[in-house]
Amino acid sequence: MSTKDFTHTQVGIVGAGPAGLVLGHLLHRQGIESVILENRSREYVEGRVRAGVLEQGTVDLLIEMGVGERLQREGLVHHGVELRFGGVGHRIPFDELTGGRGITIYGQQEVVKDLIAARIESGAPLLFEVDDVRPTGIDTDSPALGFRHGGEERELRCDVVAGCDGFHGVCRDAVPDGALTLREHVYPFGWLGILAEVEPSSDELIYCHHDRGFALHSMRSPQITRLYLQCEPDEDIERWPDERIWAELHARFECKGWSLKEGPIVEKGVTPMRSFVAEPMQHGRLFLAGDAVHIVPATGAKGLNLAVADVRVLADALTRWFAAGDESGLRGYSATCLPRVWKAQHFAWWMTSMFHRMPDDRDGFMARLQRAQLDYLCSSRAAATSLAENYVGLKHVVLATEDQIV
């Protein structure tokens, strides 16, 4: 679609990641117009390998939205997870502990492909390779998005702007100084992640505690294994030839009667571990969602799921506002989302703290505490249930009522 075709929309969405695309689709189904502006190419966005664990609530929503057909066909449903420590595996049965709930393994890039296809089919505008997006007038009733597309300067006037542009986006920075409180925790380690062309060595994820550091066995499909190793936060990937990666993975996953399958490594990269929340998640006519406003360490597999939960609340609030002029949902957006965000933050921090080797743990005190916690998890139904219900995902929340709005 040409950018000349529009100068105004109801919701200007910045970013075509999971948050922006799910929001756009939910709004479209309610007859609300939106324009999505994305600074990368379609090819780049559809090829970006990131999350892969979908909570039950995320899966249910994608199906309800009509974009779950391939997900239901190709997604791998998991009913449990293995916690491995001291060279022994212990299974946490999600379905038994949570009344039949589970997770689905389906790559974020596949979710994004399905959502982009649905957007294009709907005819609703989605512009790739847009430069220099500038939110303006967010304190007024007529905010706008300035941007450049195809070499031309454009301005899109909006009723509201949704900042779904990830951690490094521009929308959060458009909020005046002092209006947001930023809280952050940076962990003293990162993850070295690989994708390998080999069938997974286990049917379920394996979270592994080891004296050499944390390791995670995951997968993207029956042919592709995803593996992670705890590493330095600024680890130089050049120091990790494939042989070294496999040797380290074998050492950490060592378990009697089990072996790790090797295959060609087709992608590798280092991700730092960070927790971050900006509060409130809104300012004037700008609403922030997903990684633009909170980051969780990947250990809890919550990032994509939180992004989806945010925009579900935002779509409901916008629907109320556009349909009936009821502003309460929009005013309560942040108050509705933040309790879930902080619970997910806590879960991700707890999982991270329990599994990773702490660099300053010289006498092994922290490692002993971690092992005690893991032992307890695997011997107490109550403790295992707590992990299971957080892992499959807390129920999606409904909009806050007037008296909850602060």
Ligand X SMILES: Cc1cc2nc3c(=O)[nH]c(=O)nc-3n(C[C@H](O)[C@H](O)[C@H](O)COP(=O)(O)OP(=O)(O)OC[C@H]3O[C@@H](n4cnc5c(N)ncnc54)[C@H](O)[C@@H]3O)c2cc1C
Does 33 bind ligand X (CB under 6 A)? Our answer is no
Helix axes 303-324, 56-64, angle to 10 degrees: 40
Tokens at 24, concatenated: 């756009």
In angstroms, how far is CA 12 from the centroid of its own chain?
21
> What's the residue count for the chain?
406
Tokens at 132, concatenated: 């220099």
Does 215 bind ligand X (CB under 6 A)? Our answer is no
Angle (CA) 100-105-107 rounded to 5° is 150
Q: Which of 9, 12, 13, 17 binds ligand X (CB under 6 A)?
A: 17
Residues 269-288 that bind ligand X (CB under 6 A): 271
Residues 335-394 that bind ligand X (CB under 6 A): none
Counting residues that bind ligand X (by CB under 6 A) gives 36
Distance CA 318, CA 10 (A): 10
Q: Judged by CB, which is closer to ligand X: 343, or 371?
A: 343
Binding mask 55-94 for ligand X (x = CB under 6 A): ----------------------------------------
CA distances from 338 to 198, 289, 293, 345 (A): 39, 11, 10, 10
**Phi and psi dihedrals of 181, rounded to 5?**
-100, 125
> From the CB of 157, what's the least distance to ligand X, in Å?
17
Residue 138, Cβ density class (10 Å: 0-12 exposed, 13-18 middle, ≥19 buried)? buried
> From the CB of 308, what's the least distance to ligand X, in Å?
8
Does 108 bind ligand X (CB under 6 A)? Our answer is yes
Q: Which of 98, 305, 334, 345 binds ligand X (CB under 6 A)?
A: 305
Helix axes 333-355, 365-377, angle to 10 degrees: 110
Q: Which of 26, 298, 341, 399 binds ligand X (CB under 6 A)?
A: 298
> From the CB of 165, what's the least distance to ligand X, in Å?
4
Does 125 bind ligand X (CB under 6 A)? Our answer is no
Q: Which residues face 295 on adjacent strands? A: 276
> From the CB of 379, what's the least distance to ligand X, in Å?
27
Does 14 bind ligand X (CB under 6 A)? Our answer is yes
CA distances from 233 to 131, 189, 237, 270, 382 (A): 30, 4, 11, 8, 34
> From the CB of 270, what's the least distance to ligand X, in Å?
9
Q: Residues interacting with ligand X, by CB under 6 A?
A: 14-20, 37-40, 45, 50-53, 108, 130, 133, 164-166, 169-170, 193, 271, 290-292, 298, 301-305, 307
